[in-house]
Amino acid sequence: MNIDPIFKTKFINNLPHKPYCSYGKGTATLIRSKHHAIKLPLIQVNPPHLVNYLIFDIDASDAYLHYLDADLPLPTWIAKNKTNGHCHVCYELKVPICKTANARLKPLRYVAAIEHSYAQKLGADVGYTGLLTKNPIDNDWEVSLLNSIPFELDELADYVDLETKPKTTEKEASGLGRNCAMFDSVRFWAYKAIRANLEDGYNNWYDQVLNMAQNANGAFIAPLPYSEVKATAKSVAKWVWRNHHSAEFQAWFSKKQATRVRKANVNGANSKGGKARSAQYSDIRQEALKLHIMGVNNTQIAEQLKVSRRTIINWLKQAKIS
């Protein structure tokens, strides 16, 4: 198999410094240098703290065609098992998403929702851990390099309905939803527990946070690799330790509490506030439709009306505007 040298160089550069790798299903998972790992049929393509690629595991004889049947964009590559037709389908992200930055949870939730929706449409295995992928530069697989242009998240999101969000409870979460669930479980505990752990120093605090992260990970049907658990624990521990005393942290925490109370107070279907909001929402929808007819693109409409781009797309679909 002749692999495009530009693709090969980029692929190797994006790999973790010492990737997990394997000779195949049922064999030991190894940690090797890039030089050795790229010679094995299964390899870790995403570093512990980043999402460079969304990988989907499709166990079907016609797996190669699933993206077409699902009306999804042309993948970056597809690696196919020559014997049974099972495939790993890959979409490369233009901007990698951090899985362990406390201040960057919104992009992680966004990409987790996209991953979940794509897995559903592709008929992919939602229990696939994503740690090891069919190596696209290994001769064991039939590899098709289809699309050299990486994807923006908004571009991927345009092909799916993200209203059905991935499960975020420990027992039900899968894929990147596990990272979101673990992050939430650990950080909300840490926000409250930090005051009781200050006198024992940072090292003890980190041990406490790591223990909580391991407990959260242990609740998953398919646990995350220890490297991701450790990276998440380190991020939460450092951020909370550094910021717990700041006015910004206190204001943020108070705002979260107030938001929960406000949501609880306004959820009643018969509340006057609910009716007022409904009328206001109708006005915004009309404004969105008017801007669309004027030729304003969806991103600009979303920014102007202060709603998500996906909301604008949904409104226009409901109005049967393409």
DSSP state letters, 257-302: HHHHHHHHHH--TT-HHHHHHHHHHHHHHHHHHHHHHTT--HHHHH
Query: Rounded to the nearest 5 degrees, what angle is found at the Cα of 6, between the Cα atoms of 5 and 8?
Result: 60
- Of the pLDDT bands very low, low, confident and very high (cuts 50, 70, 90), residue 180 is confident
Task: Provide CB contacts within 8 A for 318, sequence distance 6+.
Answer: none
pLDDT at 30: 93
Output the six-digit token pair for 11.
């692929």
140 within a domain of the structure (yes/no): yes
164 within a domain of the structure (yes/no): no
**Does one domain contain both 35 and 132?**
yes
**Does one domain contain both 256 and 285?**
no
**Does one domain contain both 13 and 144?**
yes
Question: In whole angstroms, what is the distance from residue 233 CA to residue 235 CA?
Answer: 5
166 or 319: whose pLDDT is higher? 319
**Does one domain contain both 98 and 213?**
no
76 within a domain of the structure (yes/no): yes
**Does one domain contain both 107 and 27?**
yes
Final residue belonging to a domain, choices 248, 266, 284:
266
pLDDT at 157: 93
Question: In whole angstroms, what is the distance from residue 290 CA to residue 321 CA?
Answer: 11
Percent of the chain with pLDDT over 70: 80
291 within a domain of the structure (yes/no): yes
Instruction: Give 204-218 pLDDT, tens digit per residue.
Output: 999 999 999 999 888
pLDDT at 251: 61
Question: In whole angstroms, what is the distance from residue 146 CA to residue 174 CA?
Answer: 27
Least confident of 65-69, 107-111, 265-269: 265-269
> Is the distance from CB of 42 to CB of 24 less than 8 angstroms?
yes
pLDDT at 209: 93
Alpha-carbon distance values, 36 to 42, 80, 247 (Å):
12, 22, 49
Boundaries of domain holding 96: 5-157
Cα diameter, the chain: 67
Question: In whole angstroms, what is the distance from residue 289 CA to residue 296 CA?
Answer: 10
Q: What is the mean pLDDT of residues 132-160?
A: 94
104 or 271: whose pLDDT is higher? 104
214 within a domain of the structure (yes/no): yes
Q: What torsion, rounded to 10 degrees, do the Cα atoms 257, 259, 265, 271 define?
A: 170
163 within a domain of the structure (yes/no): no
Number of domains in the chain: 3
